[in-house]
């Protein structure tokens, strides 16, 4: 994976987390209530997903090929 691809992947992951937090905030309309789902999405979900991908032998290259 090239450096450019890694930086674009990081940018897309950050954007997706921001959008998820924004949507949760719009529906809950409570900053304190939004904090818990935002921590869960950014921490547990992403880490668990990438651990599962690692254990199954998948990489982001494999996933991008499957999406095409």
Q: Could you tell me if 39 and 64 are in contact, meaning their C-beta atoms sit under 8 angstroms apart? A: no
Least confident of 9-13, 19-23, 37-41, 64-68: 64-68
Q: Could you tell me if 34 and 21 are in contact, meaning their C-beta atoms sit under 8 angstroms apart? A: yes
Q: Using one digit for the tens of pLDDT, what is the confidence trace for 26-65? A: 999 999 888 888 887 777 777 888 888 889 888 877 766 6
Give this prediction's pTM: 0.62
Read off the pLDDT band of 68 (50, 70, 90): low
Question: Which residue has 């690692």 as its token pair?
Answer: 54
Q: Could you tell me if 5 and 11 are in contact, meaning their C-beta atoms sit under 8 angstroms apart? A: no
Q: Is the pLDDT of residue 66 over 70?
A: no
Q: For the chain, how big is the Rg over CA atoms in Å?
A: 14
């Amino acid at each position: 994976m090239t450096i450019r691809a890694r930086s674009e992947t990081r940018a897309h992951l950050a954007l997706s987390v921001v959008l998820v937090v924004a949507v949760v905030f719009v529906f809950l309309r409570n900053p304190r209530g939004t904090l818990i789902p935002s921590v869960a999405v950014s921490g547990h979900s992403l880490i668990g997903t990438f651990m599962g991908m690692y254990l199954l032998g998948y990489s982001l290259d494999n996933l991008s090929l499957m999406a095409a």
